[in-house]
């Protein structure tokens, strides 16, 4: 796995909108924060544009992202938001210059498309908070602090309380994954992730419980859980049910899908569509320790 160079004050960070549109007011405070702590920021031309639900046309979003990929002065790219549209833009990108000089790409949700694309080419990336939540009530958030630790090369060391739903065990392996709905949508494509010997991270938003079961059964039936080393479950926010209850919780659905395996399972990791949204370096070696004494997740 290729690990991009970590950033330092004075470096330039690019911001682009690869998917849905976003208001300028949701990003400007983040730009000011990055500038105040010593970084330069380059905002792509169509970051605040609008084309139906997208930030701009597919071609315009791709051109913006391509410029950031190819510019050697840009040391990291932070996506302004997710939503939908990254896959449409991805089809137009040329990764040749980026592969010769990779840089960190940051985001979550629909940006899982980019994490999966990078993983297939053995380049690490960061599943982390996007600009709207760099500040909470005017104060830099824990999520932002976590992102800056990841971008500057500081160890990511998380400790959680053990709960009855967690499954004990230890594992050290490469971390992959992201938004479960996006991973599900990429099944059968060249961006489908290889889970063999890996630790899988999943999170999601506003899904029906039966659909969560469908996605987990897809992973199981497709062999994606067979050789997994571990599972980290982030936030499953705003989950929905039908008038006739599905009958299982998120935890029960996931535990049922992995009942035939013995790898460690960690629930309630604070990452995904909620706050805090702590950073994880995708593609990097990760150590998970799950026992009744507590949970540890470490990345160096």
β-bridge mates for residue 179, sequence order: 203
Is the distance from CB of 225 to CB of 196 less than 8 angstroms? no
Is the distance from CB of 114 to CB of 90 less than 8 angstroms? yes
Q: Which two structure tokens, joined as six digits, stand for 99?
A: 């592969």
User: What fold does the segment set 12-153 form as a domain?
Assistant: Rossmann fold (3.40.50)
> What share of the chain has pLDDT > 70, as a percent?
100
Q: Binning pLDDT at 50, 70 and 90, where does residue 119 land? A: very high
**Does the N-terminal peptide bond of residue 300 adopt cis geometry, omega within 30 degrees of 0?**
no
Mean pLDDT of the chain: 98
Q: What is the mean pLDDT of residues 266-281?
A: 98
**pLDDT value of residue 133:** 98
**pLDDT value of residue 98:** 98
Task: Note the pLDDT tens digit of each residue in 224-233.
Answer: 999 999 999 9
Torsion of CA 115, 116, 118, 119, to 10 degrees: 110
Q: Binning pLDDT at 50, 70 and 90, where does residue 247 land? A: very high
Is the distance from CB of 246 to CB of 209 less than 8 angstroms? yes
**pLDDT value of residue 78:** 99
Nearest to 169 by CA among 87, 29, 287: 287
Task: Note the pLDDT tens digit of each residue in 58-90.
Answer: 999 999 999 999 999 999 999 999 999 999 999
**pLDDT value of residue 171:** 98
CA 105, CA 124: separation in Å to the nearest integer?
A: 8
Q: 47 φ, ψ to 5°?
A: -60, -35
Q: Binning pLDDT at 50, 70 and 90, where does residue 151 land? A: very high
CA 156, CA 158: separation in Å to the nearest integer?
A: 6
Identify the CATH number of the domain defined by range 157-299. Answer: 3.50.30.60
Q: What is the mean pLDDT of residues 199-217?
A: 98
Q: What is the mean pLDDT of residues 199-211?
A: 98
pTM, to two decimals: 0.97
**pLDDT value of residue 283:** 98
**pLDDT value of residue 124:** 98
Q: Binning pLDDT at 50, 70 and 90, where does residue 179 land? A: very high
**Domain spans, the chain:** 12-153, 157-299
């Amino acid at each position: 796995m290729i690990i991009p160079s970590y950033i330092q004050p004075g470096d330039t960070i690019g911001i682009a909108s690869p998917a849905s549109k976003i208001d300028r007011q949701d990003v400007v405070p983040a730009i000011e924060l990055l500038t105040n702590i010593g970084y330069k920021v380059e905002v792509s031309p169509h970051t605040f544009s609008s084309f139906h639900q997208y930030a701009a046309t597919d071609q315009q979003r791709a051109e913006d992202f391509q410029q950031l990929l190819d510019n050697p002065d840009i040391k990291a790219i932070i996506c302004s938001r997710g939503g939908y549209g990254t896959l449409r833009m991805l089809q137009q990108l040329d990764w040749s210059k980026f592969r010769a000089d990779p840089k960190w790409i940051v985001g979550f949700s629909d940006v899982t498309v980019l994490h999966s694309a990078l993983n297939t080419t053995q380049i690490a990336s960061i599943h982390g908070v996007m600009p709207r939540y760099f500040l909470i009530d005017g104060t830099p958030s824990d999520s932002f602090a976590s992102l800056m630790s990841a971008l500057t090369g500081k160890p990511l060391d998380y400790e959680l309380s053990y709960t009855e739903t967690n499954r004990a065990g230890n594992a050290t392996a490469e971390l992959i994954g992201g938004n479960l709905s996006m991973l599900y949508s990429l099944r059968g494509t060249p961006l489908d992730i290889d889970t063999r010997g890996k630790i899988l991270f999943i999170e999601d938003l506003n899904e029906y419980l039966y659909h969560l079961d469908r996605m987990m059964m897809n992973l199981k039936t497709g062999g994606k859980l067979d050789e997994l080393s571990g599972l980290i479950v982030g936030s499953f926010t705003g989950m929905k049910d039908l008038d006739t209850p599905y009958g299982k919780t998120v935890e029960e659905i996931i535990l049922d899908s992995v009942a035939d395996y013995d790898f460690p399972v960690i629930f309630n990791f604070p990452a995904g569509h909620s706050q805090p949204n702590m950073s994880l370096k995708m593609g990097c070696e990760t150590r998970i320790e799950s026992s009744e004494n507590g949970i540890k997740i470490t990345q160096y």
